[in-house]
Amino acid sequence: MLPASFQENEALRLKCAEAEEQGCWEEATTRHAEVEEWQARCSALEADAHKAERLLAEELQLKAEELTSSLRDLEATRKGQTMAQELAESLEKSYKELNSEYSSCHAELSEAKQEAERLRQLQPRPVQQVQPQPTSAPRASLVATQAGEPATLGSTVAALRRARASLAGEAIERLPQQPQQAQADPGSPSRDVSAGLKALQRLKAAAGKAKAEAGAESPQSSPSGSKAASLIASRSKASSLWLKAAQTGDAAKEPGTASSHAEAEQAETGMKASRDIRTGLQNGYTRADPFPLRAVALLIDGDQIGPQWFESVLLAVQTMSGERPKVAVCFGAPHLASSWKSHLTQHGIQFQKVERKNTTDLPDPNDAAIMEVANSIATASPDSCIAIASTDSDFLDYHLQLKNRGIHSVALVPYTSDEKRCALSGVESCRFRVPPSNPGFKEAFEARFQREYEEERAQEVFQEVGNALKELGYLPELPPFPTARSLAIFFHANKIEDVQLYPWCVAAFLARPLLDAAVPNPGDLLFFEAMEGRKQPAALKRWRVEKAKDGLALAVLGWLGYEVLSEKPASLCEELRAFWHRNSKAMRINLKHSKRVTSMPVLRGEMDCAEMLHFLDTVFKDNAVRQQWRPPPDDRDTRLWLARKRYLPDAEAPRSEVLAAMVALLQDRGVEAPEHSFALTLCLAQEAILQRRNVLSRV
């Protein structure tokens, strides 16, 4: 039998071994957890690296495409500038040839004058003047020596040759005239020489100006090659017609010789070609477009078009008209003048402040300001083109009004659906390029369905679901893809709950298996969205489908978060005021297309609450109204400000203390505080903190 001490030592050794083994096991478990954690981190970093690599590759591809396009434009500009220089040199050469011919004609004219003077001295007795035979009617169109007629090559040559022929005729027929008669006769040789000299000087100035403009031509305003080539061809044709016109002018001077009507018409054609070339040189080369050499006035709706689209809008106008707009004005809320200042200065756009005036009356203040300026431009310059950049369909009727008045106008729009809407309305439109954006379809699809997102397959599903929703009555003709509203009503009508509606590409894939057994649109369902803020993720958007029924206004307001209780009229009135404060701009925008709402009530007291609820019932039941409404404001920033200013002991204080602190703030600012509504008190407190004079200027 083993001694007791030995057994105790053995038991102790076993306990130590077990303890050591337990420690090793715990350490191994900890190490394993650390390894898994590091593996997870590595996987996340690898995923982020792949994502960054993909985004960088896409950005590089986009930059490469932009650079390639810029190089092509630069090459075309260089060719056009070269052809413009060639045209200017050709005109300079023509001027030199004409100057040489003028010198020759002037020498012959001097000789003819000397010969006429010599003959007058040899003939002492006055000879009765013989009236020359009248020339044919086309002569007036062959030469252009009267005041106010354009100075063309043909007119100059004809004037000089007519003077030479007239003096030569005097010398041959020995018909001396008194100096006074020569000065009074509008067709005298001296007047012809003066007219020819003036025409030559004007032509020299025009050629010099053309050469200077061609030499100083910038890449942005250089002509296209085809336009310059056509001008050169017109100039060559005009030159041959001018020479024929000059020869015809000489023949018309001889008594008894009639000019050909066909040659006269050709001469006038040459003069017209000259005027066309001169006009092209003075105004710059422009490509063939619907309104060549027409000034464009660009008016931008700042409520719809932001600074990220300014460059695309200006490029569309320049591509459309061949030059930058003569006037570019952006209309928007007053605070945008400072926040957009750098973008406006960069693109050379003026800014027109449009006050909201604390009103929700129609029409929209921005739309009214744009139409007022457009009317002024149309009245002052009827030949100009008015281009309005906006996604607002309210301008369609105005474009048609301008068209009926004979004013050329164009709608600048960013999307295909806007372009189709303009085409259906008979309004001329130009679609500008929208900067690329990532709607998050790929990421949302892969997160939801755990499989790769295929663009072509997705487009097929969108088309299939869109057509099915149209047939079932959930989707109108435009836009040509399923919308969040149509999908939400579809799911509600088919009793599908807890679906992911945003982004709508995921909802479209969820709706596709339900199409075969789907029920048509019952027609009494309404879709509402809560507009929480610009930075809210799409996946967290709140939405609701309600049936058109009595008491709809209270149901929607309660869902938005307003504490509306019909049994407490005083509290209800203040909550309605809070809703009105939060949704003044939304009310103005959402009701643009409503035909049922003709006037808006004014909330003055408790007696107006019933009328206001009835008004909101009408608005919420109108399918023409965009049902996007703002809930009560969040109080997190207000709590922090009140705590920093010692109105609150702590930002996490109870709601009752926050309400008391906001009331104290309003009293300090001299503002009457509400008695019941936390939401209205919060709205007024935020306005007091921001010290706004016009509370709707940033709504």
Q: Dihedral angle at the C-alpha atoms of 47, 48, 53, 58, nearest 10 degrees? A: 100
pLDDT given at position 209: 53
Q: Dihedral angle at the C-alpha atoms of 299, 304, 305, 308, nearest 10 degrees? A: 170
605: amino acid identity, one letter = G
**Residue 350 pLDDT > 90, yes or no?**
yes
User: Do 249 and 217 share a structural domain?
Assistant: yes
Mean pLDDT of 471-496: 86
What is the bridge-based pairing of β-strands 429-431 and 408-413? parallel
Mean pLDDT of 262-269: 46
pLDDT given at position 604: 64
**Residue 439 pLDDT > 70, yes or no?**
no
User: Do 319 and 374 share a structural domain?
Assistant: yes
Last residue of a domain, one of 632, 660, 675: 632
| Residue 630 and residue 699 in contact, taking contact as beta carbons nearer than 8 Å | no
CA–CA distance, 312 with 432 (Å, rounded to integer): 6
Euclidean distance between the first and final Cα of the chain, in Å?
96
Q: Is residue 491 part of a domain?
A: yes
- What DSSP string describes 359-386? ---SS-HHHHHHHHHHHHHHHH-TTSEE
121 class by beta-carbon count within 10 Å (0-12 exposed, 13-18 middle, 19+ buried) = exposed
* Residue entry with tokens 């906006």: 390
Q: Is residue 14 part of a domain?
A: no
User: Do 254 and 402 share a structural domain?
Assistant: no
User: Do 385 and 454 share a structural domain?
Assistant: no
Q: Which helix (H) or strand (E) holds 543?
A: strand 542-547
pLDDT tens for each residue of 78-128: 887 888 888 888 788 878 877 777 787 778 788 888 888 777 777 655 444
Last residue of a domain, one of 431, 451, 482: 431
Instruction: Give the count of domains, the chain.
Output: 5
265: amino acid identity, one letter = E
3-state secondary structure 187-256: CCHHHHHHHHHHHHHHHHHHHHHHHHHHHCCCCCCCCCHHHHHHHHHHHHHHHHHHHHHHHHHHHHHCCC
Q: Is residue 132 part of a domain?
A: no
Q: Which helix (H) or strand (E) holds 332?
A: strand 327-332
**Ranges 287-301, 326-340, 437-451, 656-670: which has the least confidence:** 287-301
CA–CA distance, 284 with 212 (Å, rounded to integer): 12
Question: For 684, what's the count of Cα atoms within 13 Å in the CB-facing half-sphere?
Answer: 25
What is the DSSP-derived secondary structure letter of residue 390? -
- 416-425 vs 395-404: helix crossing angle, rounded to 10: 40
Q: Which helix (H) or strand (E) holds 388?
A: strand 385-389
User: Do 257 and 315 share a structural domain?
Assistant: no
> Residue 362's pLDDT band (boundaries 50, 70, 90)?
low
pLDDT tens for each residue of 211-229: 455 444 443 333 444 444 4
pLDDT given at position 164: 52
User: Do 259 and 142 share a structural domain?
Assistant: yes
Higher-scoring residue by pLDDT: 479, 150: 479
* Residue entry with tokens 């985004």: 55
**Residue 528 pLDDT > 60, yes or no?**
yes
pLDDT given at position 499: 86
pLDDT given at position 199: 52
pLDDT given at position 402: 93
**Residue 283 pLDDT > 90, yes or no?**
no
Contacts of 81-84 with CB under 8 Å at 24 or more apart are: 81/214, 81/217, 81/219, 81/222, 81/223, 83/223, 83/225, 83/228, 83/229, 83/232, 84/214, 84/217, 84/222, 84/223, 84/228, 84/285
pLDDT given at position 536: 57
pLDDT tens for each residue of 173-182: 443 444 444 3
* Residue entry with tokens 């305003």: 221
What is the bridge-based pairing of β-strands 525-530 and 542-547? antiparallel
pLDDT given at position 602: 66
Q: Is residue 399 part of a domain?
A: yes
User: Do 612 and 554 share a structural domain?
Assistant: yes
CA–CA distance, 246 with 525 (Å, rounded to integer): 82
* Residue entry with tokens 């009617």: 137
- What DSSP string describes 571-640? HHHHHHHHHHHHTHHHHHHHTTT-SS--------SGGGHHHHHHHHHHHHT-TTS--EE--SPP-HHHHH
User: Do 476 and 422 share a structural domain?
Assistant: no
Please report, for residues 16, 208, 264, the alpha-carbon distance to residue 456 in angstroms, rounded to integers and kept in the order given: 67, 59, 65
Q: Is residue 555 part of a domain?
A: yes
Closest CA relative to residue 582, chosen from 493, 684, 652 = 684
pLDDT given at position 606: 59
User: Do 233 and 106 share a structural domain?
Assistant: yes
Q: Which domain CATH number covers 359?
A: 3.40.50.1010
Question: Tokens standing for 660?
Answer: 């008391």
What is the DSSP-derived secondary structure letter of residue 161? H
| Residue 304 and residue 390 in contact, taking contact as beta carbons nearer than 8 Å | yes
* Contact residues for 377 (Cβ-Cβ < 8 A; gap 6+): 297, 327, 384, 386
In terms of residue numbers, what domain contains 495?
A: 439-523
Q: Is residue 19 part of a domain?
A: no
User: Do 310 and 176 share a structural domain?
Assistant: no
Q: Is residue 71 part of a domain?
A: no
CA–CA distance, 26 with 31 (Å, rounded to integer): 9
Tell me the pTM: 0.49
Last residue of a domain, one of 373, 406, 431: 431
User: Do 333 and 275 share a structural domain?
Assistant: no
pLDDT tens for each residue of 297-324: 999 999 889 998 999 999 999 888 888 8
- Residue 653 phi/psi, 5° resolution? -65, 160
Q: Is residue 28 part of a domain?
A: no
- CA Rg, the chain, in Å? 42
CA–CA distance, 293 with 301 (Å, rounded to integer): 25
User: Do 483 and 463 share a structural domain?
Assistant: yes
Average pLDDT, the chain: 75
